[in-house]
Amino acid sequence: MDKLCFNNGKLTILQISDAQDMHWVRRTMLRMLESACDRVKPDLIVFTGDNILGNHLSDHRFSDGKRNLTRSEEYQVLKKALGHILDIPTKRGIPFAMIFGNHDDRNAFTKDEQADIFRANSLNRGLENTGELCGTYCLPVYDSKGEKRLLNLWMLDTARYDKARDRCYEEITPAQVAFFREESEKLKRENGGKPYPSLVFMHIPFREITNLYEPCAEEDAAICDDGVCYRLKDGVEGRLGEPSSTLSEDNGMYQALLTDGGVKAIISGHDHRNCFAGEHDGIRFVATPCASFRCYGKTRGVRVFEIDERTPDEFYTNTLDYETLCGHTLKAKLGYFWDADEMEKKKTSVLGASAAVAAVSLGAAICAMLRKNES
């Protein structure tokens, strides 16, 4: 596997979270992601979970019913669904890394079986761990000459699906925490006792992210939920679109990250409407909105990270939304209208009205034809 290196002194990472689609993909999302890659020209793409709607792989196209697929047939559906997003870096020769989300393995296949699809691509970076640690690993970034390790990108799996109990557990396991602690200490020894600067990518956020917003009066609120209103705290940049849905148990991972001493940011997805960044405990928490058009949430987009080789402990980040990437043309607006799930009511209304107008026009034409035939 090739090393990931700074490119002429710079590293640009494109984060794609919650692509959350199927083999019948929403083409507008693909156009948005392709535009993001062509605009940003990243050195690495990180898929931060819910890469597919794994629990709907066997759905009928236009109903909630189930098709009777063999396991091998469903695996081909899985490969096709993942292929849509993997084609984007593959066609451009962009290295990528990935983690799982709570939707990914809610199907007949293990995480390793899904990871093998990513591993088979020569542009894959990481995913060397298997079994319980599949999806949890450390990706090193070297200087532009490929000689010196300057930065760590930690990938943490945050959800597991118990197929026997039909239950999703949104947690980090003790085995993952032990792996991180062991690797962290080993890397510190390698670096003369100092931690490498690190970014942590995960799907479901730590509960500590809720420290970035606070209850407030309704007139000052960004959101209101279950009778309580919230706004982002002073100094937190971005937009709060929903209360954070956080890990139920981290088994000490957050404390392990603090103990490491090199973690500069913890970056998550999962909460489709949230798009903000702010500091807590000396670490920058970053929430990234969804890319999917097959889910809730009006904001679709991606996040960009830019890091300079001379200062690998610092980074700049911003988001690019659908309109920024695809523009305000009629084609772009129609694509959004047709593919975005939150437009379903409007689509039903418009299509119903169109059908009514068409029916009236057809009726008028028939009546005119009958009158003509009678005369």
The percent of residues in the chain predicted with pLDDT above 70, rounded, is 90
Summarize the confidence of residues 117-130 as an average pLDDT: 96
* Each residue's pLDDT tens digit, 143-191: 999 999 999 999 999 998 888 888 888 999 999 999 999 999 999 999 9
CA within 13 Å, CB half, 220: 10
Give Cα 331 to chain centroid, integer Å. Answer: 25
Residue 156 neighbours by CB distance under 10 Å: 29
* Residue 369: band (very low, low, confident or very high) from pLDDT cuts 50, 70, 90: low
Summarised one tens digit per residue, pLDDT across range 73-101 is 889 999 999 999 999 999 999 999 999 99
Angle between helices 330-339 and 344-374 (to 10 degrees): 100
Domain chopping of the chain, boundaries: 4-339, 344-375
CB atoms inside a 10 Å sphere around CB 306: 16
Question: Which pLDDT band holds residue 367 (cuts at 50, 70, 90)?
Answer: low
Given this model, what pLDDT does residue 130 score? 96
Say if residue 360's pLDDT is above 60: no
Q: Report the amino acid identity of residue 240.
A: L
pLDDT (mean) for 262-284: 97
Please state, in angstroms and rounded to a whole number, the distance separating the CA atoms of residues 236 and 217. Answer: 18
What is the distance between the alpha carbons of residues 258 and 212, in angstroms, rounded to a whole number? 17
Q: Is the pLDDT of residue 11 over 60?
A: yes
Does the pLDDT of residue 366 top 80, yes or no? no
Query: Could you tell me the pTM of the whole model?
Result: 0.91
Give 4-339's CATH code, choosing from 3.60.21.10, 3.30.870.10, 3.30.930.10, 3.80.10.10.
3.60.21.10
In angstroms, the Cα distances linking 329 to 38, 184, 233, 334, 351 are 18, 49, 36, 9, 21
Predicted local confidence at residue 365, as pLDDT: 57
Mean pLDDT over 16-32 rounds to 94
Judged against a pLDDT cut of 90, whether residue 358 lies above it is answered with no
- What phi, psi does 270 have (nearest 5°)? 75, -50
Average pLDDT along the chain: 91
Residues 220-247: tens digit of each pLDDT: 999 999 999 999 999 999 999 999 999 9
- What pLDDT digit, counting tens, does each position of 324-352 carry? 999 999 999 999 999 988 876 676 666 56
Q: What's the rounded Cα separation, in Å, for the pair 66 and 60?
A: 6
Instruction: Give the pLDDT of residue 370.
Output: 45
Task: Provide the pLDDT confidence category of residue 108 given band limits of 50, 70 and 90.
Answer: confident
Contacts of 11 (CB under 8 A, 6+ apart): 43, 44, 141, 151, 305, 306, 307, 309
CA dist 92 and 84 (Å) reads 14
Are 240 and 223 in contact, with CB atoms under 8 Å apart?
yes
Q: What is the mean pLDDT of residues 129-133?
A: 95
Q: In this predicted structure, what is the pLDDT of residue 299?
A: 86
Would you state the structure tokens that stand for residue 151, as one six-digit string?
């930065």
Indicate the residue type of 54: G
pLDDT at 373 over 70: no
